[in-house]
Structure 1
Amino acid sequence: MTVQEEMGTEAAAEVLLDAEAESAAEPEGVPFEQLEVPGPLLEVLREAGLTRAFPIQAATIPDALAGRDVLGRGRTGSGKTLAFGLPTLTRLEGLRARPHKPLALVLVPTRELAMQVEESLRPYARALHLRIRSVYGGAPMRKQIDGLRYGVEVLVATPGRLSDLIERGECELSDVDIAILDEADQMCDMGFLPHVCELMDQVIEGGQRLLFSATLDGAVDEIVSKYMKDPVLHEVDPQSGVVSTMSHHLLLVTPQHKARVAAQIAGRHSGEGLKDARTIFFVRTQLAADRVTEQFRERGLAAAALHGGMTQVARTKTLEDFKEGRTPVLIATDVAARGIHVDGVDLVVHVDPPRDSKDYLHRAGRTARAGQAGIVASLVLPKQTRQAERLMRDAGVEAESLDVAPIGAGGRWEKAATALAGLTAAQEVPEPGEVPVFTLPVRERERGGRRDDRGFGGRDARRGENRGGYGDRPRRDDRGNFARREQGGERGGFPRRDERGGTFTPRTSQDGERGGFRRDERRGGFADGARGAGGERRDRFAGRSA
């Protein structure tokens, strides 16, 4: 059920926005036309099926358009990207940035969030003829530098990579009049506070500051007091960030059943009616992510891991496969707990408990986004029961406790297995070794004319007989190029280097007297074991006679 359906169309139309309200209940369902959003942006919003603003958008857009500093707190998935993106792009309309000098800066904690913000705002920026780019670590710097050299009005950046570009002289923040901090509390938690302060010191003094986050606490207060002037505060959700369309469950499981229960939950996608659904399993460490992924794949389940130890190319490909449904199951560390939006995630499973209630809510926020329904389940061992209950209290959520067991366990576990299937649509899955291990198909780039009829060959496959493929492994000839193996003669297989390179002669000499490797006389090394015409031979040291 959408937010519009929950509140009713007529009631939503009657709500008027008070632009000066700094907290309390915020209006819901306000049409974007009433928020003074420019016509080109309204066209893009309508094409995306968006006609009414979410609460955080309706609350903050008028103040942001007026140029005021804004503090916005809303649960994850509540639409904060458009809440700061639409007014920022509107205020930049008609302006043009100089090379290396962006006009607006969006700081985010992770590379995935940077890519998502850029992707989300690109259609709106294009409608106003504005340029938007993202820079983040783990990706080639050259392309990012080229984008800055051409000029960019809105720059989305992670603090570390932006600092590197500034040190290289490829970026300056002296023209930045609008500075936005997205997920500011996570940046502080990750140790980026010194970087953030250093970057904020370089933007135009007295410019507009927008800070958005799911929570406003901790070191965020330092940023607010130092860089924001008389900010307007909008909190549109309870502090806990509870979502009415999200249900929470504690699945009480025994240690011997935990791995099998997790695998059967992942096997839910083999059933009917869940082809478009997605499931995210959260673990605490990179090692655990790889281990759980391997356990799922050994059962033939389509699963992939996502964590900070992967290269950016691998992380991007994993997210793409997850979004497109090639791997409907994602096993992730907290790197995926914030900022990543994937449609269709209807189930989040905590395999390992989060560190605190804040991390729990951010993990849970991957489901029940934009008014959709979602389930959050935590696998809880007996020794973790009290910790899990305290975590739920701190998070401000009411969680249902269920005893669960693997489907097919039988006996006294039958009722617990039925509860598991009823809540998560879990399916019985094969044990490791009973089916082939799941592997994603390799998607190779087509190279016309580059491969021979066997699929081998490489760049020079079109030359035919000049180069061999893997079936007839080539070896270098006297010019340093590849030559074919000898097909006949006393010795097949690997030919030995000849005297042209001053290297090894064949193992057996021509007169058959002695074997073994000996270097030729042209190089002053070992003889081949037979005496020469002058009755002399080289000993093991070059240049000495026997």
Structure 2
Amino acid sequence: MPPSSSTTSARSSRRPRRRRPQGKPQQQPKRSLFDEVGVTAVDPAPFADLGLPARLVRALADNGMVEAFPIQAATIPDALTGRDVLGRGQTGSGKTLAFGLPLLAMQQGSARPLHPRSLVLVPTRELATQVTDSLKPLAKALGLYVREVVGGTSFNRQVDTLRRGVDVLVATPGRLADHVRQGTCVLSEVERTALDEADQMADMGFLPQVRELLDLVPADGQRLLFSATLDGDVDKLVDRYMTDPVVHSLAPPAASVDSMEHHQFLVSATDKQDVLARIAAREGRTIMFVRTKHHADRMAKKLRAAGVPAGALHGGKAQNARTRILDEFRSGATTTLVATNVAARGIHVDDVSLVVHVEPPADPKDYLHRAGRTARAGATGTVVTLVTDDQREAFRTMAAQAGVKAKTTAVRPEDAELARVTGAREPSGVSLVAPKQRETPRGRGANPRSAKRPDEPTRRRRPSERGHDDGRRGQASSGRGARRGNRGGARQA
């Protein structure tokens, strides 16, 4: 007998009994190759014992380098056998020569025009320049050519360089992708590829371009990859492009540098600028890290107004400006560098004794790499983070993730502890005017898309963006025509 309508209604209105959710076993995070091998214990060793060509060993000695750092002693012998090598070493540990020397030592013959034989991919222009400058004198001893291809500089000049033949090409992904698209660089004859600071390229969004470029490199070539971590996309690169790599991990990703002091200075918002000015007025080289390029420019301007020779470095500046600012900092013409994360990795300047986080970084990796600008190659250094009341909890969490134990001190501008830790002193108060330099973000012959945002991945512009650009180009053309007309009139006069 069918149930009555009332019974049906009662049953249908009754809530279905919920099942207690079954607890799913939590998946353990995938262990990276670095975690599996643990920390490699390698002592320094003479370059002559690593299997390098005699001419290269003599060139190293001529440049004052006789003994290899541990990361070099660990990875170079394996790289010279042709094996893929995956390496991790703390900042300032000598990774550039760890991959650079095998690239030079194994080069056979000269490169054809537009066809480099070895490729080094790096995330920033400054790091590309540093790698190139490190390898050039050593390559010269072997009759090899090392050149860089980066944004913000003349595209046509780079084409001329590539046409002459480049044995080892150091490049940022965005600009190299532009050359590949235009047929001015062909990667089909690349025998060895090195990726430096691979995790930073992942953070900056370069990994899709890196994959596109690596897909154009012969699959049977050698790969050398150096990275602080193997999380996310970097691990995918290892799985996809490396074959049975030899793994050397010489430092965990935590703050393990014993020669570094870490301090947390609790400051009020009203005292913060005065505290920064006093710290910047100290003797010695100081790098102050901020979050945005506008903040870097503003702070450098305020410090110069207080009498502190300071310069701002960030990705929004033209390449010639960035090179000049770094040169002034290295020479001592400016003693304080206010920078964004563009200077957080790979930039080596001797004798930086203090790093200041003007704002606590959100990412523990940013903290560690910024801190790594000091205490390099056995030197000592101090790392200071300015923390306001509302930032204390965030800093505590980030420091724990970074493995940092920072001494906490509440400071005011005139406090003796501030002066003891940082060498802070009263700035002169005599305003310094920054010299006006000719800075051309879009120089003649430069690739305009790459020159505008040289350290970021290139992207396809929307029609509206192209229209705005066309309008600006039309205005610029009118201006140039008017100027040419004026010059013509002046000559006639």
What is the CA–CA distance in structure 1 between the aligned matches of 2:339 and 2:39, rounded to whole Å? 35
Report what 2:160 is aligned to.
146
What is the CA–CA distance in structure 2 between the aligned matches of 1:44 and 1:479, rounded to whole Å? 58
What is the CA–CA distance in structure 2 between the aligned matches of 1:370 and 1:478, rounded to whole Å? 58
TM (norm. structure 1) is 0.73
Report what 1:435 is aligned to.
430
Report what 1:190 is aligned to.
204
Report what 2:195 is aligned to.
181
Aligned-residue identity in percent:
54
The yes-or-no answer on 1:169 pairing with 2:183 is yes
Q: Residues 351-366 of structure 1: matches in 2 within 5 Å?
A: 351-366=358-373
CA contact (8 A) 1:22 1:232 kept: no
Q: Deviations over 1:140-196 (max 9, x none)?
A: 111111110000110000111001111111110000010111111111111111101
What is the CA–CA distance in structure 1 between the aligned matches of 2:298 and 2:179, rounded to whole Å? 36
Structure 1 pair 50/482, CA: closer, same or farther in 2 (3 Å)? Answer: same
Match of 2:68, SS state, is coil
What is the CA–CA distance in structure 1 between the aligned matches of 2:373 and 2:255, rounded to whole Å? 13
CA drift of 1:360 comes to: 0.5
CA contact (8 A) 1:300 1:438 kept: no
The counterpart of 1:87, out of the listed 95, 102, 114, is 102
What is the CA–CA distance in structure 1 between the aligned matches of 2:372 and 2:241, rounded to whole Å? 29
The counterpart of 1:233, out of the listed 247, 264, 272, is 247
The counterpart of 2:114, out of the listed 100, 122, 138, is 100
The yes-or-no answer on 1:322 pairing with 2:329 is yes
What is the CA–CA distance in structure 2 between the aligned matches of 1:95 and 1:28, rounded to whole Å? 33
Gaps of 5+ in 1: 1-20, 270-276, 408-416, 445-474, 484-546
Report what 1:50 is aligned to.
65
What is the CA–CA distance in structure 2 between the aligned matches of 1:185 and 1:441, rounded to whole Å? 36
Q: Deviations over 1:420-442 (max 9, x none)?
A: 00001111125xxx523343487
Name the structure, 1 or 2, with higher relative contact order (CA <8 Å, separation 6+). Answer: 2
The counterpart of 2:405, out of the listed 398, 401, 407, is 398
Q: Residues 397-546 of structure 1: matches in 2 within 5 Å?
A: 397-407=404-414, 417-430=415-428, 434-440=429-435, 481=491, 483=493
Q: Which has the higher helix share?
A: 2
What is the CA–CA distance in structure 2 between the aligned matches of 1:246 and 1:48, rounded to whole Å? 28
Which is further off, 31-40 or 227-236? 31-40
Structure 1 pair 418/205, CA: closer, same or farther in 2 (3 Å)? Answer: same
CA contact (8 A) 2:255 2:404 kept: no
What is the CA–CA distance in structure 1 between the aligned matches of 2:298 and 2:488, rounded to whole Å? 50
CA drift of 1:47 comes to: 2.8
CA contact (8 A) 2:40 2:248 kept: no
Q: Deviations over 1:288-330 (max 9, x none)?
A: 1011111101111100101111111111111111111111110
Q: Deviations over 1:474-511 (max 9, x none)?
A: x989976465xxxxxxxxxxxxxxxxxxxxxxxxxxxx
Report what 1:373 is aligned to.
380
Report what 1:453 is aligned to.
none
Give RMSD over aligned pairs.
2.0
Matching residue's letter, 1:309: G
What is the CA–CA distance in structure 2 between the aligned matches of 1:480 and 1:435, rounded to whole Å? 42
CA contact (8 A) 2:39 2:252 kept: no
Match of 1:106, SS state, is strand
The yes-or-no answer on 1:40 pairing with 2:55 is yes
The yes-or-no answer on 1:127 pairing with 2:133 is no
What is the CA–CA distance in structure 2 between the aligned matches of 1:327 and 1:243, rounded to whole Å? 27
What is the CA–CA distance in structure 2 between the aligned matches of 1:478 and 1:348, rounded to whole Å? 53
CA contact (8 A) 1:73 1:216 kept: no
Match of 1:109, SS state, is coil
Match of 1:249, SS state, is strand
CA contact (8 A) 1:74 1:241 kept: no
Q: How many residues align?
A: 413
Structure 1 pair 388/479, CA: closer, same or farther in 2 (3 Å)? Answer: closer
What is the CA–CA distance in structure 2 between the aligned matches of 1:359 and 1:218, rounded to whole Å? 16
The yes-or-no answer on 1:339 pairing with 2:334 is no
The counterpart of 2:396, out of the listed 389, 392, 397, is 389
Report what 1:136 is aligned to.
150
The yes-or-no answer on 1:78 pairing with 2:93 is yes
CA contact (8 A) 1:267 1:427 kept: yes
CA contact (8 A) 1:29 1:53 kept: yes
Matching residue's letter, 1:199: L
Structure 1 pair 95/406, CA: closer, same or farther in 2 (3 Å)? Answer: same
Report what 1:305 is aligned to.
312
Match of 1:145, SS state, is helix
CA drift of 1:238 comes to: 2.2
CA contact (8 A) 1:280 1:348 kept: yes
Gaps of 5+ in 2: 1-35, 440-484
